[in-house]
């Protein structure tokens, strides 16, 4: 089956530092792929490149088998890929509804819409159905996001990405700052998103979470992918040892 998103031989350096030296990656539709690796392995860099926030120096990116050139986040978004970085990119003074639709507001029909008037009712309903469908707990649809707990905010950010994404979403350390219950909510959310046929790629340092929710795990080490495992076939020990480079470099 063709991967919905595939990367081959991506290279990227910042000055003298080589962040990626021929990295590969792939994710299938409806699959949850965990991207793990030690600090400096290149995970975040790879995700930034695949989401269009940065451009690669070399290598190619294929979307549904076609070669694509991602020059900006808008390019990625147009292909149906959304990203949630660690800072969540939520505007704290705005409501969940306003955050959900930020940049994609629904305008009123006709002249009013051209003048800039928005269809708040439609956006409220759309947000509510998205949150409900994905099980994101949002108690006050009109409150400010800044006043909500970390877990709620994570839920909103992930739900936003999932609601707009058609094909792939990237999550960078989605459970890093969350407590136990909130983490479970996010992992449930991840499973539900993949259940809708969207490919989920998430970076994590937390082996237990990875083992719990991922279908496949890809390990990076020093700028390359060194191993790919199906969850069923692997163990935490194997993952950790792969992360430290004990596995020989994968033949591409």
Partner 1 sequence: MSTTTSAPPASTEDAPTSRLSRISRLQALQILILLVVTVAVFTALRPDTFLTGFNIRGIVQNTAIYAVLGVGMTFVIITGGIDLSVGSVLVFSGVVADKIMVAYGGQGWGTVFVGLAAALASGLAWGLLNGILVAKAKVPPLVVTLGSLSAALGFAQIITKGLDLRDAPQTLVNDIGFGNIVGQVPTIAVVSAVVVIFGIVLLHRTRFGLYTYAVGSNAEAGRRAGVKVERHLIKVYAFAGLLAGFAGLLNLGFFQSTTIGGQSNTPLNVIAGVAIGGTSLFGGIGSVFGTVIGLFIPIVLQNGFIQTGVQPFWQQVVVGAVLVAVVYVDQLRRAAAVRGTPTRLPFLSRAGSTSRKGSA
Binding residues (CB under 8 A) for partner 1: these are: 53, 73-74, 77, 83, 85-95, 98-99, 102-105, 107, 115-118, 124, 126, 128, 130-135, 137-144, 146-147, 150, 153-154, 163-164, 166, 176-177, 188, 192, 195-198
Question: At a CB cut-off of 8 Å and minimum separation 6, what does 108 contact?
Answer: 117, 118, 119
Min dist CB 125 to partner 1, Å, is 10
Nearer to partner 1, 11 or 137 (CB): 137
Q: Give CA angle at 89 (131, 11), nearest 5°.
A: 115
- Residue 229, CA distances (Å) to 33, 86, 106, 246 in order: 10, 25, 42, 15
Min dist CB 213 to partner 1, Å, is 16
Nearer to partner 1, 68 or 122 (CB): 122
Query: What φ, ψ does residue 108 adopt, rounded to 5°?
Result: -70, 160
Which residues are bridge partners to 37 per DSSP? 220
Nearer to partner 1, 53 or 247 (CB): 53
Nearer to partner 1, 188 or 212 (CB): 188
Contact 230, 237 (CB under 8 A): no
Min dist CB 219 to partner 1, Å, is 24
């Amino acid at each position: 089956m063709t991967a919905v998103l595939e990367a081959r031989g991506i290279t990227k350096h910042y000055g003298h530092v080589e962040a990626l030296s021929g990295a590969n990656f792939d994710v299938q539709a409806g699959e949850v792929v965990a991207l793990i690796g030690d600090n400096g392995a290149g995970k975040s860099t790879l995700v930034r490149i695949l989401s269009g926030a940065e451009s690669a120096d070399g290598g190619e990116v294929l979307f549904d088998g076609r070669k694509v050139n991602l020059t900006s986040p808008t390019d990625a978004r147009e292909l149906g890929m959304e990203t949630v970085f660690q800072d969540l990119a939520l505007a704290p003074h705005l409501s969940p509804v306003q955050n959900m639709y930020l940049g994609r507001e629904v305008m009123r029909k006709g002249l009013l819409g051209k003048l800039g008037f928005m269809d708040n009712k439609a956006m409220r309903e759309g947000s509510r159905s998205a949150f409900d469908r994905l099980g994101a707990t949002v108690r006050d649809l009109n409150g400010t996001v800044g006043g909500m707990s970390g877990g709620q905010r994570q839920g909103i950010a992930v739900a936003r990405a999932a609601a707009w994404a058609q094909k792939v979403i990237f999550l960078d350390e989605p459970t890093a700052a969350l407590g136990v219950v909130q983490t479970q909510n996010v992992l449930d959310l991840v499973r539900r998103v993949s259940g809708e046929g969207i490919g989920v790629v998430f970076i994590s340092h937390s082996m237990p979470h990875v083992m719990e929710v991922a279908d496949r795990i890809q390990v990076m080490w020093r700028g390359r992918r060194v191993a790919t495992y199906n969850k069923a076939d692997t163990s935490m020990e194997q993952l950790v040892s792969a992360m430290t480079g004990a596995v020989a470099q994968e033949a591409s």
